C-alpha cells in the first residue's frame, strides 16, 4: 500500500496521501491538515476554491477506511483558524469512525477552545505524546529521551529535484535523520519549505501518487 522503512528497528509505512502508519501501534500519524484554512481565506475576501476542503476530507476518510487504525494522531495544526463551519466536517468524520480514537498534539494554529475539541471527542496533548519509542510533536524537538525518536510536523518539508533538461520541482517529502523525522503536510492548501538533507539522512519524495526513495 505504501513504502516501508525501518527506524530504530521498528517498521513504518509512508503513504502517498502524505501520512505515516505505525503498524506496531496500529496508529496513523497525520501532520498539518489545516482544516478551515480555505474558509478562513474566503471569509477574508480571498477567492480560494472550496475544492481543497473536499479533497482534505475525502482523502482522510479514504486513508482511515483503508488502514483501519486504532488511533489517528494529528501532529498539530488540525484546524487553521478560529471556528468556521468546516470544523463541523471534522466532527462528522470523527463520528463516522466511532471505533477509532482521534488525538491531537496541539500546534501553533490550533486555537479553538477546549470545549470544541471535547465535543468532537478529540483527546488533546499539549506538547508531545510518547508512543513506545516515538516522541510525537508538532514543533521539532531539540532533545528527546534516550532511545526515543521524534516525529514532527510544522515544517512542511519539501525537496527540490532537478531533471535532465535542468527543470526543477519542489516536492513534498518524508525526512528521517538520526534522532528525528519530519512528516509532509497533509493539507492540500499548504506551502513547502525546502530542506537540505545531509548525506546520511534519508528522504522519501511524494510524487505521481507514489512515495519514492531519493
- E-strand ranges in 39-179 read 71-74, 101-105, 122-125, 128-131, 134-137, 149-152, 157-162, 168-176
Determine phi and psi for 78, rounding to 5 degrees: -65, -45
Domain that holds residue 137: 3-152
What value does the mean pLDDT take over residues 128-138?
97
pLDDT tens-digit readout, 45-80? 444 545 555 788 999 999 999 999 999 999 999 998
Q: What is the DSSP letter of 148?
A: -
Query: Mean pLDDT for the chain?
Result: 90
Q: Does 118 reside within a domain?
A: yes
What value does the mean pLDDT take over residues 183-209?
92
- For residue 40, the model assigns a pLDDT of 47
Q: How many domains does the chain have?
A: 1
Q: Which CATH number do you get for residue 147?
A: 3.60.21
Q: Does 102 reside within a domain?
A: yes
Least confident of 19-23, 142-146, 204-208: 142-146
- For residue 187, the model assigns a pLDDT of 86
Looking at the chain, the whole-number percentage of residues with pLDDT higher than 70 is 89
Q: Does 177 reside within a domain?
A: no
Amino acid at each position: 500500500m505504501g513504502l516501508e522503512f525501518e527506524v530504530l528497528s521498528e517498521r513504518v509505512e509512508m503513504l502517498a496521501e502524505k501520512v505515516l502508519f505505525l503498524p506496531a501501534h496500529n496508529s496513523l500519524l497525520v501532520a498539518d491538515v489545516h482544516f478551515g484554512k480555505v474558509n478562513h481565506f474566503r471569509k477574508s475576501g480571498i477567492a480560494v476554491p472550496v475544492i481543497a476542503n473536499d479533497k482534505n476530507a475525502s482523502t482522510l476518510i479514504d486513508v482511515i477506511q483503508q488502514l483501519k487504525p486504532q488511533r489517528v494522531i494529528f501532529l498539530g495544526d488540525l484546524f487553521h483558524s478560529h471556528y468556521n463551519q468546516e470544523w463541523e466536517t471534522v466532527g462528522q468524520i470523527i463520528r463516522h469512525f466511532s471505533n477509532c480514537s482521534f488525538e491531537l498534539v496541539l500546534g501553533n494554529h490550533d486555537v479553538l477552545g477546549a470545549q470544541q475539541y471535547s465535543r468532537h471527542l478529540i483527546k488533546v496533548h499539549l506538547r508531545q505524546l510518547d508512543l513506545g519509542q516515538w516522541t510525537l510533536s508538532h514543533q521539532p524537538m531539540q532533545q528527546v529521551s534516550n532511545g526515543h525518536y521524534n516525529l514532527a510536523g510544522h515544517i512542511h518539508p519539501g525537496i527540490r529535484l532537478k531533471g535532465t533538461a535542468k527543470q526543477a520541482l519542489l516536492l513534498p517529502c518524508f525526512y528521517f535523520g538520526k534522532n528525528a523525522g519530519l512528516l509532509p503536510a497533509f493539507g492540500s492548501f499548504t506551502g513547502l519549505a525546502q530542506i537540505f538533507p545531509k548525506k546520511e539522512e534519508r528522504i522519501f519524495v511524494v510524487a505521481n501518487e507514489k512515495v519514492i526513495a531519493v
